[in-house]
Amino acid sequence: GVLFRGALTQISDENLGWNFVNEYNNKVGSLWNENVKKSWNYYTNLTDYNLEVMTNSTLQMAEFDKEAAKNASTFAHDGFGNATLKRLFKKIVNIGFAATNDSEQLKAISNLEADLTGIYSKGKVCLESKGCLQLEPGLTDIITNSRSYEELLAVWKGWRDASGKLMRTKYTDFVKAMNAAIKFSGFNDTGEYWRSWYETPTFEQDVRTLFEELEPLYVELHAYVRKRLKEKYGKDMFPETGHIPAHLFGNMWAQQWSNIYDLLVPFPGASSVDITAKMKEQNYNVTHMYRVAEDFFMSIGMEKMTDAFWQNSMLVKPTDRDVVCHASAWDFYDENDFRIKQCTSVTEDQLLTVHHEMGHIVYFQNYRHQPRLFRGGANPGFHEGMADIVSLSFQTPEHMKVIGLLDEVPQDSDSDINFLLKMALDKVAFLPFGYLIDQWRWSVFRGDTNSSNYNQHWWDLRCRFQGISSPVKRTEEDFDPGAKYHIPGNTPYIRYFVSFVVQFQWHEALCREAGNTRPLHR
């Protein structure tokens, strides 16, 4: 006979299971759409009222998730034969922080994330020469274009004082609330929950192995860049240890170095393009940047952006309110409303980000007919890879010529080396940065790192993996991790490390598939 577990036997009838997941899918449509709209309202207008409305919506969603998870566990879904049905149930019961029985923890998580993101987005640095500037566009423009050691230092330190330094206590409370809540989902800490999305028990070792395999290439690039920067800034500005001061890379976090390509050109005689100058020469405006990206996606068979995209996106920084400028792509789960939020300026860097964000939108559009529970990346690294894969093809000299940002496609090897180095400054330079952010965060979630050594451990990792050093003394008064969006914004980061590896594997496969027998970089 059937084993009766307590009063309730679990339902093993898969037809009833399909009814349940279909009803769930229809119900969450409007719920998720409402919730994303309230987040959008806060991110594009940072007021206390919008924060409260967003948090209330998040709490309601959590109640719905808990109820659905409880009802789902009346089914013997682990034993279901149909893999799709089984996976849908697994996603319904796996509700993360919402599993907590203490709504105060959820409230704290939502409020603290919004609060920390607000501090980051409103942060400003006042320079006697240029007045008070926010990260975008003011501070970013200086970090990108200044070649003055001192000016770069003032902006680098100023930004950390105006962002991370103000977040330290809140971040400690944030970690505590997340770790307490995630236990109700059966995870030891938040890092374990985040790694579970890759669905492999060896994930941590896998990324470590990948990094170690790629590190020699990075070390070569680092040595070359250090040599050239010493020529530019004088070797006595560099520590004996061989580290490179963190503020000299043309990027606020030293994560990608193509903005200082002009200091590093291997063969100045050969052709190398300054895309930003070309864009300005051709009177590029923001809308045109999005049209150029859309044209490229359509040229490879993707659908155009929806009307809702053009009506609802925020493509330039508003002048009348505070917003989260950090660029992002949004799915409103109604199969039509997809948006980008970006304080777009007319630069090459930004044109690449436009392609990245639109890459996410194109992936949203391609899975919009899937059940809502399946409208996410196969894993987060996959989604990031899909966002970046197109810009690998977009930034080839071939395509640059097609869109008129390059006059001639150079055929000589010196020009090839110039182009390949420029790619390496974005894609190879990034690897240790993409790797270390969550090394730091996973160690915080585990409790190996806490508020007594947040900054020490951060710089240990920055020195060990990136070979960079702080240009000024750092103490535990500082909180440099908070100066990078994804820490206050609570977006896991190892996804970008995974993406920067898989995107080249996909690129190679796509070229083979397309019958392209030329060297990969063409």
Ligand X SMILES: C[C@H](N[C@H](C(=O)O)[C@@H]1CCCN1C(=O)[C@@H](N)CC(=O)O)C(=O)N1CCC[C@H]1C(=O)O
Q: Are 182 and 101 in contact (CB under 8 A)?
A: no
Q: Give, as ranges, the residues between 253 and 292 that touch ligand X (CB under 6 A).
A: 255
Among residues 387, 405, 498, 501, which is the contact residue for Zn ion, using CB under 5 A?
A: 387
Instruction: Note whether 353 binds ligand X by CB under 6 A.
Output: yes
Please say which residue, 255 or 259, places its beta carbon nearer to ligand X.
255
What minimum distance in Å lies between the beta carbon of 356 and ligand X?
5
Q: β-pairing, 328-331 with 338-341?
A: antiparallel
Could you say which of 243, 288, 399, 486 is catalytic? 486
Closest separation in Å from C-beta 136 to ligand X: 11
Tell me if 496 contacts ligand X by CB under 6 A: yes
491 binds, among ligand X, Zn ion, none (CB under 5 to 8 A by kind): ligand X
Question: Which one-letter DSSP state was computed for residue 416?
Answer: H
- The CA distance from 443 to 191, in Å, is 8
Q: Is the Cβ of residue 378 or residue 463 nearer to ligand X in the bound state? A: 378
**How far is residue 182 from each of residues 57, 202, 244, 519, measured CA to CA in Å?**
20, 21, 39, 47
174 vs 364, beta carbon nearer Zn ion: 364
Window of 46-54, 132-140, 377-385, 418-426 that interacts with Zn ion by CB under 5 A: 377-385
Give the span between the Cα atoms of 246 and 149, in whole angstroms.
11
Question: Which of ligand X, Zn ion, none sits in contact with 426, Cβ below 5 to 8 A by type?
Answer: none
Number of residue whose CB is nearest Zn ion:
387
Q: Cα angle at 388 between 493 and 306, to 5 degrees?
A: 110
Report the 3 state secondary structure along 157-176. HHHHHHCHHHCHHHHHHHHH
Q: Which of 126, 179, 360, 147 is nearest to 259 (CA)?
A: 147
- Residue 190: contacted member of Zn ion, ligand X, none (CB under 5 to 8 Å, by partner type): none
CA distances from 427 to 81, 319, 422, 502, 504 (A): 43, 33, 9, 12, 10
Q: Is the dihedral of CA 194, 198, 202, 208 positive or negative?
A: negative
What is the rounded CA–CA span in Å between residue 329 and residue 332?
10
Cβ atoms of residues 436 and 461 within 8 Å: yes
Q: Is 14 a catalytic residue?
A: no
Contacts with 281 (C-beta within 8 Å, 6 or more apart), sequence order: none
Kindly state whether residue 360 participates in binding ligand X, applying the rule CB under 6 A: yes
Q: Which residue has the tokens 């899909």?
A: 386
The only residue of 383, 427, 441, 457 in contact with ligand X, by rule CB under 6 A: 383
| 155 forms part of the interface with Zn ion (CB under 5 A) | no
The one catalytic residue in 357, 383, 384, 457 is: 357
Among the residue ranges 208-216, 380-388, 408-416, 508-516, the one whose residues contact ligand X (CB under 6 A): 380-388
Q: How far apart are CA 163 and CA 189, in angstroms?
A: 26
Nearer Cβ to ligand X (68/329) = 329
**From the list Zn ion, ligand X, none, partner contacted by residue 353 (C-beta under 5 to 8 A by kind):** ligand X
Annotation says 150 is catalytic: no
* Smallest distance from ligand X to CB 248, Å: 19
Which is nearer to ligand X, 74 or 366 (by Cβ)? 366
Asked if 32 is part of the footprint of ligand X (rule: CB under 6 A), the reply reads no
Q: Name the percent of the chain in helix, strand, coil, to the closest 5.
A: 65, 5, 35
Site for ligand X in 128-157 (CB under 6 A): none
Give contact residues for Zn ion (rule: CB under 5 A).
384, 387
Give contact residues for ligand X (rule: CB under 6 A).
255, 326-329, 353, 356-357, 360, 383-384, 387, 491, 496
Q: Would you name the residues annotated as active-site residues? A: 357, 486
